[in-house]
Amino acid sequence: MFLFANATIYIGLAIAIYSLLILTLGISTKNQKLVNSGKGGMIALFVCAALAMLSLFYLLATSQFQYEYVSDYTSSELPIIYKLTALWAGNAGSLLLWTFFLTLYMIMIAFSRKMKGNPMVPYISAILMANAVFFFFILGFVAKPFLLLDTVPIEGKGLNPMLQNPGMIIHPVTLYLGYVGLAVPFAFAMAALLLKNVDDFWIKMTRRWTIVAWLFLSLGNIFGGQWAYVELGWGGYWAWDPVENASFMPWLTATAFLHSVMIQERKNMLKIWNISLIIVSYALTLFGTFLVRSGVLTSVHAFANSNLGLYFLIFMGIAVILALYVLMSRYNLLKRSAGEFNSFVSKESSFLVNNLLLVGAAFAVFWGTIFPLVSEAVRGTKVTVGLPFFNKVEAPILLSMMFVMAVCPMLAWQKSTVKNLKKNFMIPAILAIVGMVLMVVLGIQKAWAVIGYGVIILLLITHFLEFYRGVKARRKMTKESPIVALYRLMIRNRRRYGGYIVHLGIAFITMGIIGSQNYDVETMKTVPLGGTIELKDYRINYERLDQKREGINDIVYADLTVFRNGKKLGTFQPEKVFYGNWEQPSSEVAIISSVKEDLYIVLSAWEDDGKATFVVKINPMMNWLWFGSFMIVIGALFAVWNGKYGNVTPRYTGIRKEVS
């Protein structure tokens, strides 16, 4: 097994190098046979990556502790599902998963029916193959997944308890699909520049790939936040941790890209900006991987210190320099064919403002993340930037983006007249102001919260009006029922209305963020058996403290009876789990959810006489945050499902088409 597993890596590296060279030679000589040979190498490379990953799955599942990776991340007592998902618990396994996804994306593009005979394919394949060479090199010589130990241990070290959670089964997979997926539009953009194809053909071809990558990044962040909320026991879902930031930054720039490409398609504008955005997004995926694996910053999510960070930093530097060189070499060509803005008060201007806000948010996160490194280099002292900085900087940017999202649907393309603005904004603005006044009357006094909810009301109204006017216009032409008209309207404009659903999801997420960040209440109290904790409308009776054993783990738990406004909600059990092969215990929290708020209870400590200390927190509007996340996913799926590439023919034919 050792020889077979390692052979998949080294043979894969040899195939990747061969395919890259033969694709490059085929492009330079315009020889389709060489290109076809390189494409055949892609299939062989995918098989190597798949076999390597299946081999590691087998070793993990069967507890082959003679392998260092298996010994470090599993134990015989671990449930089979967590033995398998330990594949992405460490550097070597997670990079193997990354490599598998990369080869999967490669063959999906190279052998896509819609891309058959397309002159961009060899260029795209070569760019992605260069990525594959790097990752197979790392697996072969730096982070080896099939390294044998000199002495075979009786038992493995086990999996970090924080990773033994359903969220960690899905979170890394979706995040890596998003990270790797952003290499696809990057490869398309570079191929278009190399072919001197400066129209929007490459954007139309790559639109679905970009949305898919963005969707997986969104899912990765959502599952990561949900995991932090239920597993870490601190009552929050986003701590601006360096690794959280690493996944959030490319999400922001990819979001900006998805918006600005619409301006290029409609108005032939922002060509240089769009390519720059996709270069930055791709670079940020590599930068995030550098942060996770270098050990330069402390994070609950990061892997153990290693020298991998240096390799990723070098590779990122080379990729960015080459990409910028290609961009600058085509600068004049891009500049000559660019359109211009006709008015500052127009839909395209609102898209540009939104882009600037998104990029500004990404830069603020980037600066806050690397500031400890900068301060250490300049002053010799590592100064950590925490929650207050990020919240103070990002909150106004988020509200500004929400406002732009709210007004954008009401603006006209090219130029909006004063009459048009009055007609579209008078009623939504009045209703938003009335809503803000009502909130103040009902007791919401904090300025940011009132402004934030006012902007959300404005967004909800303008988006409702977009749906209403679309249905009304369609019914006038077709005489369809409202439901049928709405359905057919959305089906025929998937991208537009899918985007609106995403906007609504972000509005609901913002509702949850404002509520949970501004109106959360927390108490810590030590009570005897039979004691009571009261917090706002809740009364919590401490009934019993007991312990049990599950496998090699000891669990201490408390029975709590919870009442709200005198009504019994049930009995709940916060736990503290002591793992047999791990030093630090883990908290399993009790969460009682409602539309209005979450009651979040943590068993913090206890004494021999039965006294126990509990942390009790009320998190308002939390379910709105998760509901909004669900809407984002639905909107993105709706936009991408059965999407069309468009009947566009590239201007440059480069390599002759394959003879069928």
Predicted confidence (pLDDT) per residue in 558-572, tens digit: 999 999 999 999 999
Predicted confidence (pLDDT) per residue in 481-511, tens digit: 999 999 999 999 998 999 999 999 999 999 9
Residue 539 lies in a domain: yes
| Residues forming beta bridges with residue 593, ordered by sequence position | 598
pLDDT (0 to 100) of residue 305? 52
- Using the predicted structure, report yes or no on whether residue 644 has a pLDDT greater than 80: no
* Rounded distance between C-alpha atoms, residue 645 and residue 495, angstroms: 12
For residues 647 and 114, is the Cβ–Cβ distance under 8 A?
Answer: no
What is the arithmetic mean of pLDDT over 517-536?
95
> No. of H helices and E strands in the chain?
20, 10
What is the arithmetic mean of pLDDT over 29-46?
95
> Largest Cα–Cα distance in the chain?
84
Q: b/e for 515-527, b at 16 or more Cβ within 10 A?
A: bbbbbbeeeebeb
Rg (CA), the chain: 27
* Rounded distance between C-alpha atoms, residue 252 and residue 271, angstroms: 19
Residue 562, SS3 per DSSP: strand
Residue 562 lies in a domain: yes
Is 0.85 topped by the overall pTM?
yes
| Residues forming beta bridges with residue 587, ordered by sequence position | 576
As given in the structure block, the two tokens for residue 227 are 């995991």
The identity of residue 44, as a single letter, is: A
- Using the predicted structure, report yes or no on whether residue 647 has a pLDDT greater than 90: no
Q: Which of 400, 397, 396, 375 is nearest to 385 (CA)?
A: 375
* Rounded distance between C-alpha atoms, residue 66 and residue 53, angstroms: 18
pLDDT (0 to 100) of residue 291? 82
Length of the chain: 660
Q: Which of 168-172, 372-376, 484-488 has the lowest mean pLDDT?
A: 372-376
| Residues forming beta bridges with residue 567, ordered by sequence position | 564
Residue 597 lies in a domain: yes
Count Cβ atoms within 10 A of the Cβ of residue 247 and give its class: 0-12 exposed, 13-18 middle, 19 or more buried.
buried
* Rounded distance between C-alpha atoms, residue 450 and residue 368, angstroms: 27
Q: What is the DSSP string of 157-186?
A: ----GGG-SHHHHHHHHHHHHHHHHTHHHH
Predicted confidence (pLDDT) per residue in 576-602, tens digit: 999 887 888 888 999 999 999 999 999
Residue 616, SS3 per DSSP: strand
pLDDT (0 to 100) of residue 387? 87
pLDDT (0 to 100) of residue 642? 66
- Using the predicted structure, report yes or no on whether residue 405 has a pLDDT greater than 60: yes
Predicted confidence (pLDDT) per residue in 442-495, tens digit: 888 899 899 999 999 999 999 999 999 999 999 999 989 999 999 999 999 998
Identify the H or E element spanning 606: strand 597-606
Note down the domain range covering 590. 521-622
Residue 614 lies in a domain: yes
Higher pLDDT, 268 or 479: 479
The percentage of the chain sitting over the pLDDT mark of 70, rounded to a whole number, equals: 94
The identity of residue 364, as a single letter, is: A
CB-based contacts of 265, cutoff 8 Å, min separation 6: 200, 203, 204
**Residue 645's pLDDT band (boundaries 50, 70, 90)?**
very low
For residues 347 and 412, is the Cβ–Cβ distance under 8 A?
Answer: yes
- Using the predicted structure, report yes or no on whether residue 239 has a pLDDT greater than 80: yes
* Rounded distance between C-alpha atoms, residue 43 and residue 37, angstroms: 10
pLDDT (0 to 100) of residue 232? 85
Q: Which of 92-96, 255-259, 277-281, 291-295 has the lowest mean pLDDT?
A: 291-295
Label residue 235 left, alpha or beta by phi (over 0 means left) and psi (-120 to 50 means alpha). left
Q: How many domains is the chain partitioned into structurally?
A: 1
pLDDT (0 to 100) of residue 116? 83
Higher pLDDT, 601 or 112: 601
* Rounded distance between C-alpha atoms, residue 239 and residue 388, angstroms: 10
What is the arithmetic mean of pLDDT over 601-616?
94
- Using the predicted structure, report yes or no on whether residue 639 has a pLDDT greater than 80: yes
* Contacts by 385-390, CB closer than 8 A, 24 or more apart: 386/240, 387/239, 387/240, 390/240, 390/364, 390/365
Residue 560 lies in a domain: yes
Residue 588 lies in a domain: yes
Predicted confidence (pLDDT) per residue in 349-364, tens digit: 888 899 999 999 999 9
* Rounded distance between C-alpha atoms, residue 9 and residue 138, angstroms: 10
- Using the predicted structure, report yes or no on whether residue 297 has a pLDDT greater than 60: yes
Label residue 516 left, alpha or beta by phi (over 0 means left) and psi (-120 to 50 means alpha). alpha
Q: b/e for 451-474, b at 16 or more Cβ within 10 A?
A: bbbbbbbbbbbbbebbbeebbeeb
E strand residue ranges, 528-585: 532-535, 538-550, 553-564, 567-572, 575-578
**Residue 306's pLDDT band (boundaries 50, 70, 90)?**
low
User: DSSP state, 412?
Assistant: P
Torsion of CA 644, 650, 656, 659, to 10 degrees: 30
pLDDT (0 to 100) of residue 655? 52
Task: Check the CA dihedral 472-477-478-479 and report its sign.
Answer: positive
